[in-house]
Amino acid sequence: MGEFELIGRYFRSTALEGAGPTEQVTLGIGDDAAMIAPAAEKQLVVSTDSLVLGTHFPPDYVPSNIAYRALAAAVSDLAAMGARPLGFTLALTLPEVDEIWLQSFAEGLAEAARDHRISLIGGDTTKGPLNINVTVFGEVRPRNVVRRSDAQPGDLLCVGGPLGDGGGGLAVALAAALPADLDDAARDYLLQRFWRPMAQCDLGLELAGVASAGLDISDGLLADARHLAEASGLALHIRVADLPCSQALRFWPAEQRKEWMLGAGDDYVLLFTLPVASIRSLEIWKSQGFDVTVVGEAVVGRGIWLDEGQGLEEVARPAGYQHFQGNNNV
Amino acid sequence: MGEFELIGRYFRSTALEGAGPTEQVTLGIGDDAAMIAPAAEKQLVVSTDSLVLGTHFPPDYVPSNIAYRALAAAVSDLAAMGARPLGFTLALTLPEVDEIWLQSFAEGLAEAARDHRISLIGGDTTKGPLNINVTVFGEVRPRNVVRRSDAQPGDLLCVGGPLGDGGGGLAVALAAALPADLDDAARDYLLQRFWRPMAQCDLGLELAGVASAGLDISDGLLADARHLAEASGLALHIRVADLPCSQALRFWPAEQRKEWMLGAGDDYVLLFTLPVASIRSLEIWKSQGFDVTVVGEAVVGRGIWLDEGQGLEEVARPAGYQHFQGNNNV
């Protein structure tokens, strides 16, 4: 079976094309290229992410989960910019044509596309070791875009949801040593958070034009906070006691929770700075159901500083900082 | 060394960011996503291509050549749509950080970017088996876009350059059984065509709004003609004697040349249909130095028909048509 039939059979049939706004996608799958146009006064936001099977995935993964996670992780970068999702391309490298695998993969992809209101606009299939590349497109008014570089001293540092579920979810997915009393609800919640993360697009749209800076937590709070601090040229203070975590994570000891909240990554919640003048927005967002929490502030200086109740302590810049590792982007 | 440093050190330093039009790329590398905006009244054209090392590459390939070819092949899809290149993202999966490899790769990429006037706007690096994904962005006026589906019976079928060099180039690159009298000039020409193909963007811009349909020849003339014929719902007649081939290819026997011209792929020249009313454009393009040739015509019917001087014969639809093969897209 061929490249075009693959795309046709598995991806078109799942109504992936029409999952997102259709006005902006003016030419979809089937030609040499797709056409896409942001709405008037908006610009296109673009991000690309590859997912490679490695140590981060249990060997008995379900293809639909991999697909969901790959798309959600990519869309999370749009959310971080305050952009509305429009479309995505999929470049799929597969060792062989396995129709059962493809059917499952396409289902998970279609589900993620519907959940994130984004359309498949083009693709490419190649034979080789499994590699899933997703490039996402969104739109934003240029003046509202949320960059990493515009935080100001005095801004509040906030997160858009619970931290550490990426770490806890991985532990459950890998069936690592789990707490003896871990209940099914917690297990299911963490598996869902790991395999079916939901990019915070709605929150991102709220942040557009309001937050001074932001990104999504994919590398872990400390690493991503450092990205923001360095891009904005300031220091960030983080109050560990204020870091939000899910009920499910409370089955683990406090030290493990803290490790995951600070460093595990794959949480796909937004980390952003808010001018104090916009503090009222926080209450509005909470009343709208967004799970936003103030966890620290931006100050003049450099580095990431943790407040664990006994004064501030600077977090050492890891020697292998941003090390070239298994799955930077999933 | 980390993901961001990789991108920073090897790709930023080669001035890749500014190789294309800068007005449309409003936010480049370094944030969660890039921003790009087509000019007024234009839309964005998007295409994605992955390159995997396989049987099509000699084991002693030069990384700069792989990079050049990956980008040129992707840009060729923009040329086929009549779009002007703007920017591209690179998702690079690498088994290890090899600085010499990366340096060479970045140089080839920068060269291809300059030659095609396109800017690197974002990227992603992941650890895993080598996989090079390029997603390209161009702009076009929607009414001028060259699709596959709008050819009309009576239109002339044309190609934008010599055919078969992809096949001959591969033979030289693999040092397969070569003609004993093959001279250095022919060898160099074919290696250049194989490793450093130049996407026909300038021709594509001329075709925009003039050609009725078009695509780039990446799968081989017969396969790509079939794509066009099926998308447009008509038959294509091809006169074999009129197929253009390079001087270099004449070192091979006629049968081998014909095989490559019809089927080898990787030529990255444009295949397009032209309404007879626009026949004068052909002379203008030739006078501008474009190597365009009429090789047949579109007619009512179905299928691809070859005229080898003894009447028309239909080309059988290959059983493994568009077979899932090693390198569909390079």
Per-residue pLDDT reduced to its tens digit, A85-134: 999 999 999 888 888 999 999 999 999 999 999 988 888 888 888 999 99
* pLDDT per residue as tens digits for the range A169-219: 999 988 878 999 999 999 999 999 999 999 999 999 999 999 999 999 998
Distance in Å, alpha carbon of A245 to nearest chain B alpha carbon: 24
Phi/psi zone of residue A198: left (φ > 0), alpha (ψ -120 to 50 degrees), beta?
A: beta
At residue B10, the pLDDT reads: 72
Spans of all domains in chain B: 3-144, 156-314
Q: In DSSP terms, which residues pair with A299 in a beta bridge?
A: A235
Distance in Å, alpha carbon of B33 to nearest chain A alpha carbon: 5
Residue B203, Cα to own-chain centre: how many angstroms? 12
How confident is the model over A19-43, as a mean pLDDT?
A: 74
Contacts of B126 in chain A (CB under 8 A): 50-52, 327-329
Q: Which of B87, B129, B328 sits opposite A129 (nearest CB)?
A: B129
At residue A326, the pLDDT reads: 36
Does pLDDT of A81 surpass 90? yes
d(CA A63, CA A105): 5
Query: In the structure encoding, which two tokens stand for residue A129, read together?
Result: 């070791």
Q: Do A47 and B34 touch (CB under 8 A)?
A: yes
At residue B2, the pLDDT reads: 57
Contacts of B1 in chain A (CB under 8 A): 323-324
* More reliable by pLDDT, A114 or B38: A114
How confident is the model over B271-293, as a mean pLDDT?
A: 97
One-letter amino acid of A292: V
Q: Do B147 and A81 touch (CB under 8 A)?
A: no
Name which of B252, B260, B269 is nearest B204 in CA terms.
B269
At residue A2, the pLDDT reads: 57
Question: Residue A317, SS3?
Answer: coil
Contacts of A227 in chain B (CB under 8 A): 4
Q: Is A144 on the interface with B (CB under 8 A)?
A: no
Does pLDDT of B318 surpass 90? no
One-letter amino acid of B312: L
ipTM of this predicted complex?
Answer: 0.84
Q: Which of B47, B90, B126 sits opposite A32 (nearest CB)?
A: B47
Q: Is A80 on the interface with B (CB under 8 A)?
A: yes
Contact between A170 and A289 (Cβ < 8 Å): no
pLDDT band at B99 (very low <50, low <70, confident <90, very high): confident
* More reliable by pLDDT, A265 or B259: B259
Name which of B124, B128, B106, B131 is nearest B53 in CA terms.
B131
How confident is the model over A27-36, as a mean pLDDT?
A: 73
Q: Which of A53, A121, A328 sits opposite B3 (nearest CB)?
A: A328
At residue B260, the pLDDT reads: 96
Give which of A22, A44, A53 to mutate to test B binding, by max B Cβ within 10 Å.
A44
Query: In the structure encoding, which two tokens stand for residue B45, read together?
Result: 């054209």
Contacts of B124 in chain A (CB under 8 A): 48-50, 328-329
CATH number of the A3-144 domain: 3.30.1330.10
Contacts of B4 in chain A (CB under 8 A): 227, 322
Contact between B1 and A320 (Cβ < 8 Å): no
Q: Is A124 on the interface with B (CB under 8 A)?
A: yes
Q: Is B39 on the interface with A (CB under 8 A)?
A: no
* More reliable by pLDDT, A74 or A329: A74
Q: Which of B32, B216, B327 sits opposite A81 (nearest CB)?
A: B32
Give CATH superfamily name and number for B156-314. Answer: PurM-like C-terminal domain (3.90.650.10)
Contact between B149 and B255 (Cβ < 8 Å): no
E strand or H helix at B88: strand B84-94
At residue B21, the pLDDT reads: 67
At residue B302, the pLDDT reads: 97
Distance in Å, alpha carbon of B192 to nearest chain A alpha carbon: 24
Does pLDDT of B3 surpass 60? no
DSSP strand pairing (B43-52 vs A34-36) = antiparallel
Q: Which of A31, A45, A324 sits opposite B147 (nearest CB)?
A: A31
Q: Is A289 on the interface with B (CB under 8 A)?
A: no
Q: Is B148 on the interface with A (CB under 8 A)?
A: yes
At residue A106, the pLDDT reads: 92
pLDDT band at B1 (very low <50, low <70, confident <90, very high): very low
Distance in Å, alpha carbon of B102 to nearest chain A alpha carbon: 14
Contact between B269 and B160 (Cβ < 8 Å): yes
Q: Do A127 and B33 touch (CB under 8 A)?
A: no
Q: Which of A50, A216, A321 sits opposite B2 (nearest CB)?
A: A321
At residue B226, the pLDDT reads: 96
Give this prediction's pTM: 0.88
Contacts of B83 in chain A (CB under 8 A): 33
What one-character-per-residue DSSP string does A236-283 give? EEEEGGG----TGGGGS-HHHHHHHHHHT-----EEEEE-GGGHHHHH
How confident is the model over B34-43, as a mean pLDDT?
A: 84
Does pLDDT of A37 surpass 90? no
Q: Do A80 and B33 touch (CB under 8 A)?
A: yes
Does pLDDT of B67 surpass 90? yes
Q: Is A215 on the interface with B (CB under 8 A)?
A: yes
